[in-house]
A and B are shown apart, each in its own frame.
Chain A
């Protein structure tokens, strides 16, 4: 009987929690252009880079705090196909790909629990 070829391990499967494309992979770091010029400037340790990173962290923190502020509040979503719905915001997933909402008001009734796809959302607003 023939011996089967040995393998070191099995191929890694998809991560259930993210869509992948690891930003720390060698390929990503080498090929990904940043949107702000300071990061790609030759003077990588300069003042401009520091300011840019500070601005990025401020904006990111502000966005995350805005998501926190939304929790439990009614939010109005404007989506594609001229869809306007209102729901109570629950949480976002880690990649901000889905929003978990409750009591989603739709033209065909109120959905107790729902998941909204973020790529389908154009704008959303709520009151603090």
Chain B
């Protein structure tokens, strides 16, 4: 019997959720961090009056674990290290902060010269890559925080996203200058540049398989991460796409954007399988969990929603219920939604 997807809504943010990231799978499960900005007013001053509070949640249930308090203003980027022991955030207060993700304490504040948009840890969590509106990529050695970071210049406008790739030997960056660049970490030089007609809206790097997922306009494109000239495929969605994510087993990919819906596609055939309504605003970010069982979406409506990959399967808070059980007397512990549920 076909089941209808029940998204789990995680509330708590009062402002648009602009970035989210999962940790790897740890002995305590996996975790999710989300960042919220301020309302998208053109005036920069507004951002400082509204706090963006990055939150840590249990990845498979969406249960809130804690809020990282300290940034003054919108938080544009957030990430966790693999073990979920450290978190990093990028904010409009011109700083990136590193946090202890177990205690919630702030461990480092890294000053920048402008709004910071993106943060990413190396696999060993010893270095942090940052990028933002001052167009410069920075690499901080977290064991020597007082030392100056290595700086890599080259982009001609604000950097939106910067990621380590190829075993942390290279860096991928996407900027408002409509390019995606690959840099060599040791020489600090550009290895390759990909130019687009519009600025790239999101980038995801899948180490296992060396795939790069790039979204721009209504397009979701898949590139070979080692040789970006090699484009595996592209798919055009019905709406402007802000973010897309590829399933760890490369069966599916999901995307979301301006029309508030989540789209699910088959990766091999590129066929649109499903679309889900639920959010009350544009979808800004979407990511698969490390085990591929669910994906999380963050929206302008201030919520994070968790969606099942296999609808109807028992996992996390979702429970597979057979038709007979629904009418039995023992089913009162289950919450069976007839309409949209809000946390």
Contacts and interface: CB of A to CB of B under 8 A. Distances in A.
Q: Do A and B come from the same complex?
A: yes
Interface of A: 2-15, 19-23, 25-28, 30-32, 97, 119
Interface in B1-30: 1-6, 8-12, 28
A14 B335 contact: no
Contacts of A6: 6, 318-319, 321, 326, 334-337
Nearest to A29: B102
Q: Give the top 5 A-B pairs by smallest Cβ distance, nearest first.
A: A20-B66, A11-B62, A21-B104, A21-B66, A2-B4
B286 to A, nearest CB: 17
6 contacts: A4-B5, A8-B319, A8-B335, A10-B343, A11-B306, A19-B104
Interface residues of B, number: 48
A119 B68 CA distance: 12
B70 interface: yes
Nearest to A97: B69
Given A4-B338, A7-B318, A20 B65 contact: yes
Contacts of A20: 56, 64-67, 104
A8 B318 CA distance: 6
A75 B56 CA distance: 35
A119 B69 CA distance: 9
Given A5-B4, A20-B66, A13 B11 contact: yes
Interface of B: 1-6, 8-12, 28, 55-57, 61-70, 85, 102-104, 306, 308, 311-312, 317-321, 323, 326, 333-338, 341, 343
By secondary structure, the A interface counts as loop
B104 A10 contact: no
B81 to A, nearest CB: 13
A17 to B, nearest CB: 12
B27 to A, nearest CB: 8
Contact of A11 (B57, B66, B319): B57
Given A2-B2, A11-B9, A13-B10, A31 B64 contact: no
A11 B64 contact: yes
Nearest to B85: A31
Contact of B10 (A11, A15, A23, A31): A11
A10 B6 contact: no
Given A19-B67, A20-B66, A25-B65, 5 more contacts: A6-B335, A6-B337, A7-B318, A7-B337, A8-B333
Nearest to B333: A8
Given A6-B334, A7-B335, A20-B104, A12 B4 contact: no
A8 B70 CA distance: 34
Contacts of B326: 3, 6
Contacts of A19: 66-69, 104
Contact of B8 (A11, A15, A31): A11
